[in-house]
Amino acid sequence: MSSSSCPSSPAGTVYRMTESKTWSRWVTPRAARDEPVHRWHLFPHSFTGHLVHALIDEWELDGQDAVLDPFAGAGTTLVAAKAKGIPGSGRDLSPLAVLISNVKAANVSRSRLASTRLRLRNPLMPSPSVVIARDYPPLVRRALPKGRLEAFDALAARIHHLDCPPSERDFFRLALISIIPCFSHAVANGGWLRWSNDGVADGTVEEAFNARVEMMLSDVPDNAAAGDGRDGGWTTSTADARMLPDSDETYTAVITSPPYPNRHDYTRVFGVELMFAFLDWEGNRALRYQSFHSHPEARPERPPADEYVAPGRLEQSIDHLKDARIRRMLRGYFLDMHLCLRELARVCRQNAKIALVLGNARYGGRAILVDEFTAELGERAGLACQEIRTVRWRGNSAQQMGKYGRLASRESVVLFEKR
């Protein structure tokens, strides 16, 4: 690991800058695609359990500590902390993220799940003549045509009526939701959806569902005990990272990755899943508006922040941008980051360790130094920036590359300690 000094903030603080090539493969979801439990559902820009384990070891955490992930996403922090025996809690605004995180971290019995699965074995009738149990938004109907929605709906209804603990029911709900992209004509494309008739899975929804359940069951340990699914405290609840429900000085560590300011709107990327299983159109739009200001359509309601001072170099980084929506997004992003850091300072105990996985961005050929700006905001919130650890360099978009050439951006882990 190499080390150097990072440019100083306007306040004169110099941050320690290091580089770790070893960690580069741990800040993308690629390595987790074949890892038990983690592979059940992945989010774009997820980090891996290896990163969490490395930080737990580096910080020498044990069972007396408590870890928080305020952007729980696909539950990586909680699953990895559970494997190490470190109590953990997650928070997320997305009901999809809450479900994924809780299912992955649940204590469930493989034999119990296998028994419950037998009740779902009745043949499906994925015919357009089958009556759909609820009125799905147009996006879901268009994405799952020709009997596919009927098949998903029928199986979802049977899962809903299972007589079993909620943790087991959620296990099968996740299995069903996770195969939606295999049959959907709405395909994730960066931060948006595009329509395509290519690549739709062969076979029936029931066959794909059974295959997914089989894979997930193979990852559940043989000796896993049946319970309420939440034993040990590895739970995720719906909450806003800017307004955490936790008491003061609760946690000794935080490992998380806030959304990058890359215009990716995950209420669109996962719009089919969200509106199939959780939200109507209005509810999904409300989630979009309240989400972290990492995309132009966010317009969140925020707690007061009269003390907020924007990063010193932010305005000179965005003053050339003609698109007022992008300028507003970037200003809002760092206001949200301030609110999040303020909350982390509140809920963490003295000397708590905090790691934020962040990606810098480029707009109009100019760098937006998310990691350095975040370090500056953290210092003002009562955290001491110990290090900015560069772990990967990402190329700019094809559009930006064609206009400005190849300009790589840092992906970093910003490490703080609570003063």
- Report the amino acid identity of residue 205: V
Does residue 71 register a pLDDT over 70? yes
In this prediction, residue 405 has a pLDDT band, given cuts at 50, 70 and 90, of low
- CATH 3.40.50.1820 at 2-106+230-262+323-418, yes or no: no
Which pLDDT tens digit goes with each residue over 179-205? 999 999 998 887 778 898 776 777 899
What is the sign, positive or negative, of the torsion defined by CA atoms of 22, 46, 327, 302? negative
Q: Determine the pLDDT at residue 93.
A: 98
Where would I find the H helices in 205-308? Answer: 205-219, 266-269, 271-277, 281-290
Percent of the chain with pLDDT over 70: 89
113 Cβ neighbours under 8 A, 6+ residues apart? 168, 171, 217, 220
| C-alpha triplet 289, 291, 294: angle, nearest 5° | 105
Q: Which of 123-137, 187-201, 318-332 has the lowest mean pLDDT?
A: 123-137
399 Cβ neighbours under 8 A, 6+ residues apart? none
Q: What is the average per-residue pLDDT within 37-46?
A: 91
Q: What is the dihedral of CA 155, 157, 162, 166, to 10 degrees?
A: 100
| C-alpha triplet 114, 120, 121: angle, nearest 5° | 90
Q: Which of 31-35, 254-258, 268-272, 398-402 has the lowest mean pLDDT?
A: 398-402
Biggest CA-to-CA distance, the chain = 69
How far is C-alpha 134 from the chain's CA centre? 28
Where would I find the H helices in 348-397? Answer: 370-380
| C-alpha triplet 155, 160, 165: angle, nearest 5° | 125
Q: Determine the pLDDT at residue 302.
A: 97
CA–CA gap between residue 207 and residue 287 (Å, rounded):
32
Which pLDDT tens digit goes with each residue over 222-276? 765 544 444 557 999 999 999 999 999 999 999 999 999 999 999 999 999 999 9
Whose tokens are 């359990």? That residue is 49
Other beta carbons within 10 Å of 136: 20
pTM value is: 0.91
278 Cβ neighbours under 8 A, 6+ residues apart? 95, 96, 99
